[in-house]
Every structure is written in structure tokens, then in C-alpha cells.
């Protein structure tokens, strides 16, 4: 997005959970967010993911900030997209519980998320949604 | 992003704070994240923003989730972009403290963020960074 482009005022519409699930299924890059407990705001980092219809699954390096500070518990996952030409956009937010997957729980190869970065990325994290919500901004 | 497109493994590089500030200045849409305190993960929502060189400032409706549940304190702000053709991307994370701006603190009109959605958006929120970090994934 360039500095001379602004969103024009539009109309905000809540997305149904079905629409949110469709968007989660279609996309591959999103952001995981969690509270790091250091008195600053949440950590928010992009990841490559898969949504298997029930869970968000992504892979990370055992040396990443995420893996090193990983604790089971509340995490969020967010995707969005915006179109400057049409001045519209949408976002989906998954809030839920997270855990590191055991080997036996892993999806088949084809369904495994592909990491952005080369190296040994063998920590799989699964977020089980407690809530899924979304919104769309339509052109004004 | 389409389902048949994946990021190829690339090289991860940390961005300098100067690079992060440049990206924050150039862009207009990002995501604010905060802990809602309800035992789920952080709330993450897109907003139109301005970075004035020191603070992230965005505007929201007094009726929004953000304004209704607003508390001074830790919040984060994140921007990113990715390019499927080049299989590359970057992200910047600002973690800091937030407050609602008083009228006298508001920037001049031209520097005020333009909201996505029409209506009375007269709550201005300012995030003062405690840390700014970023990363770039270069093609493999």
C-alpha cells in the first residue's frame, strides 16, 4: 500500500462462521498472536498455516521465538486481505487454545503447512478455536 | 493467496529498527492486538493508521469492540506484506503502551488516519512503542 492511498469509508458487515471457515480454508498465510507475559503487548508473527476444517496448524523452528517461549494455552490466529482498488477488505479472527502436536497427531504430508523459511522446522502447533469471527468492509 | 501457492523455503533476516520505521511510515493498514482478559487469545483487528515517527495512531468508533473494551496498557501493532510471485515477505511488530488521545494531542488533519468504515469514529488511540522489531523472508 502506498502512502497516497487511503481506504474510503465503507460499510462494515460481520461474516458468518461459515464464511470465516471458507476463508481460513482458502488461505495459507496468517498471523499467530499470543501474550508473552512481559508487560508489553501481544507478540504477532506471520506463519504459513493450514486449516483442516477444525484446527489451525502451523509449523515453526524449535529455535524460533514462538517455540522457545511456547506454552500451551490461549493463542489467536488472524488472516485478512485488503484491496486498495476497490477499497474493500476482510479479516477473520480465530481465538482459542494451543498445543504442540505429537507425531501421531500430525496430518498427512500433503496437508502439512509449508514453512516460509528453510531449516529444521519440526515443531507443529495446533490452535483449537473457541471462537471464530470475521468482518468485511464493503466499498462505500 | 490461492490454495495451490506455497511459500518456498527462504532466508530469514532481522530488520533494523530504521528499516522497521520506514515500513511503518510507508504503510497505512495494520493490525492492533491486545489481550482481552477472557482466557482466549489476543484480539487482533485491522485498522487504518499513521506512524508519525514516534507513535502509531489510529481512529476507531466509540462503539467498536476496541473502544468499548479499551484499557490503557500493553498493545501491539503489526504490519506485513508478502509476495507469492517472489516468494518473499516481511513483517514489523510494534509492542508498547496505549492510550486514548485527548483532543489537544491530536495530529493535524492531514496526518490523521482515515478509518475504513463510515460513521462517527472519534476515538483516537496512540501506541507508544517499547520495542520495534521486524523480519524479512528472502527468496530461497
- Segment A45-78, tens digit of pLDDT: 998 899 999 999 998 877 777 777 778 889 999 9
Q: Which residue has the higher pLDDT, B133 or B68?
A: B133
d(CA A84, CA A96): 31
pLDDT at A53: 94
B105: closest CA of chain A, how far (Å): 22
Report the candidate in A40, A21, A41, A42 with the shortest Cα–Cα distance to residue A31: A42
pLDDT at B83: 79
d(CA A127, CA A97): 5
Contact A107, A113 (CB under 8 A): no
Q: Which residue has the higher pLDDT, B65 or B13?
A: B13
Helix locations, chain A, DSSP H: 17-26, 65-68
Report the candidate in B107, B111, B75 with the shortest Cα–Cα distance to residue B93: B75
CB contacts of A77 in chain B (<8 Å) are 41
Contact B77, B127 (CB under 8 A): yes
Does the beta carbon of B24 lie under 8 angstroms from any beta carbon of chain A? no
What is the value of pTM for the model shown? 0.84
| pLDDT tens figures, B79-111 | 999 876 666 899 999 999 999 987 666 666 666
pLDDT at B8: 39
Q: Which residue has the higher pLDDT, A8 or B99?
A: B99
Paired with A93 in beta bridges are A78, A133
- Optimal mutation site among B2, B28, B41, B55, interface A, most CBs of chain A within 10 A: B41
B55: closest CA of chain A, how far (Å): 14
Is B76 in Cβ contact with A27 (below 8 Å)? no
- Check residue A117 and report its DSSP letter: B
Does the beta carbon of B112 lie under 8 angstroms from any beta carbon of chain A? no
- B4-22 CB burial, b ≥16 within 10 A, e <16: eebbbbbebeebeeebbbe
Does the beta carbon of B136 lie under 8 angstroms from any beta carbon of chain A? no
Helix locations, chain B, DSSP H: 17-26, 65-68
Predicted confidence band of residue B121 (pLDDT cuts 50, 70, 90):
low
pLDDT at A2: 32
Average pLDDT of the residues in A10-33: 93
Q: Is B27 left (phi over 0), alpha (psi -120 to 50) or beta?
A: beta
Contact A31, A47 (CB under 8 A): yes
Average pLDDT of the residues in A95-119: 75
d(CA A112, CA A122): 11
B65: closest CA of chain A, how far (Å): 12
Contact B45, B67 (CB under 8 A): no
Given B45, B91, B131, which is nearest A40 (Cβ)?
A: B131
Is A34 in Cβ contact with B44 (below 8 Å)? no
Amino acid at each position: 500500500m502506498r502512502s497516497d492511498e487511503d481506504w474510503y469509508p465503507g460499510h462494515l458487515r460481520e461474516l458468518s462462521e461459515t464464511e470465516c471457515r471458507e476463508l481460513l480454508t482458502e488461505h495459507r498465510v496468517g498471523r499467530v498472536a499470543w501474550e508473552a507475559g512481559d508487560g508489553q503487548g501481544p507478540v504477532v508473527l506471520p506463519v504459513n498455516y493450514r486449516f483442516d476444517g477444525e484446527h489451525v496448524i502451523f509449523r515453526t523452528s524449535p529455535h524460533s521465538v514462538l517455540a522457545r517461549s511456547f506454552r500451551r494455552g490461549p493463542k489467536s490466529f488472524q488472516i485478512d486481505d485488503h484491496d486498495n482498488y476497490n477499497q474493500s477488505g476482510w479479516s477473520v479472527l480465530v481465538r482459542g487454545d494451543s498445543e504442540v502436536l505429537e507425531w501421531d497427531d500430525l496430518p498427512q504430508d500433503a496437508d502439512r503447512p509449508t514453512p516460509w523459511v528453510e531449516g529444521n522446522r519440526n515443531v507443529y502447533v495446533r490452535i483449537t478455536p473457541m471462537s471464530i469471527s470475521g468482518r468485511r468492509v464493503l466499498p462505500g
